[in-house]
Amino acid sequence: MLEKLSNGTSKSKLNWLRASVLGANDGIVSIAGLVVGVAGATTDKTAIAAAGLAGVIAGALSMAAGEYISVSTQRDAEKAFIAKEKQELADNPKEELQELADMYQKRGLSKETAKQVAVEFTKNDALSAHLEAEFGLDEQDLTNPWHAAYASAGSFVAGSIIPMLAILLPPAGYRVPITFIAVVIALGLTGYLSATISNVAPRRAVIRVTIGGFLAMAITYAIGVAFGVSVS
C-alpha cells in the first residue's frame, strides 16, 4: 500500500527508510559475527580486516541484488494491477462505479454517501480512486527497485563500519569485548529506529534485535575459538 501517510511521507519513501534500517542492521550483525568469529581464531589484524572487508563487499552486493529483485517483483505486480484496473474502467465503467461505492459503504459510509463519494472521485480521477480503494496504490508513487538496492547496500556498508572499527582499533585483548559492547548499542539504536518507522512499541524490537545480534556474535566467536590457531 502506497497511500500518503498522515505525516506526508509516502509509503514508497517509508519502504526506502525501512530498507535502509534493515540494511544497517544486517551490516552490523553479519560483519560483527564474521570478524568476532575470525578474532576468536586468530589475533592477526590483517586476517581479521581482510575477512571483514570481504564480508562487507559480499554482503552489500547481496543486499542490493536481493532488494532489487524483491522490489522489482513488487513493482511488476503494481503495474499489473494498474493495467487491469484501466481495462476494467474502460470496459465496464458503470459496474466499476458501483464497485467503488460498495467499497466505501463497507468502510462505514451510508449507501447514499458512498455513492456520492464514488461519483465525485470518479469524475476527478477514476483510476486513482479505484487503485487507492482496492490496492492502496498511487500510480505516481510506485516502489523503485533501484532506490531500495542503493539504500540497502549503502546502509549495509554504513552498519558494517561499527564492528569493523570496534574490532580493529583496540588492542588485541580488548577487541572482542569492545566489539560486543559497540554492536549491542548500535543494534539497540537500529531496533528503535525500525520500531519507530513501523509504528510499533520499540521495547520488544530493541530486545529482539540486540539479543539476536549478541547470540550471533557469541556463537561465531565460540566457533572461532574452537577452530582457532596460534599466529606468531
Domain count, the chain: 1
Cell of 37: 568469529
Give the span between the Cα atoms of 33 and 55, in whole angstroms.
Answer: 10
Structural domain includes residue 26? yes
The pLDDT, as a whole number, for residue 231 is 39
**What does pTM read for this prediction?**
0.74
Pick from 123, 144, 141: nearest CA to 132 = 141
The pLDDT, as a whole number, for residue 183 is 93
Structural domain includes residue 58? yes
Structural domain includes residue 24? yes
Structural domain includes residue 109? no
Please report which confidence band the pLDDT of residue 71 belongs to, taking 50, 70 and 90 as the band edges: confident
The pLDDT, as a whole number, for residue 11 is 59
Q: Is 161 exposed, middle or buried (0-12, 13-18, 19+ CB in 10 A)?
A: middle
Read off the pLDDT of residues 119-174 as tens digits, 9 standing for 90 and up: 888 888 888 888 888 777 777 777 788 888 888 899 999 999 999 999 999 998 89
5 three-class SS: coil
Could you report how far apart the first and last alpha carbons of the chain are, in Å? 57
Give the span between the Cα atoms of 184 and 162, in whole angstroms.
Answer: 11
Range of the structural domain that residue 43 is part of:
11-80+145-226
In the predicted model, what is the mean pLDDT of the chain? 84
Sign of CA dihedral 118, 120, 123, 126: negative
Question: Which residues fall within 8 angstroms of residue 90, CB to CB, at 6 or more apart?
Answer: none
The pLDDT, as a whole number, for residue 80 is 87
Percent of the residues in the chain that have a pLDDT greater than 70, as a whole number: 91
The pLDDT, as a whole number, for residue 6 is 38
| C-alpha of 46 from chain center | 32
Around Cβ 132, how many Cβ atoms within 10 Å?
20
Please report which confidence band the pLDDT of residue 5 belongs to, taking 50, 70 and 90 as the band edges: very low
Structural domain includes residue 139? no
Please report the DSSP string for 87-137 in residue order.
Answer: HHHHH-HHHHHHHHHHHHHHTT--HHHHHHHHHHHHHHHHHHHHHHHHH--
The pLDDT, as a whole number, for residue 219 is 92
Structural domain includes residue 138? no
Around Cβ 127, how many Cβ atoms within 10 Å?
16
Structural domain includes residue 90? no
Cell numbers 554504513 label which residue? 158
Highest mean pLDDT among 53-57, 83-87, 111-115, 141-145: 53-57
Give the span between the Cα atoms of 20 and 9, in whole angstroms.
Answer: 15
- pLDDT of residue 188 exceeding 80, the answer is yes
Structural domain includes residue 91? no
Please report which confidence band the pLDDT of residue 3 belongs to, taking 50, 70 and 90 as the band edges: very low
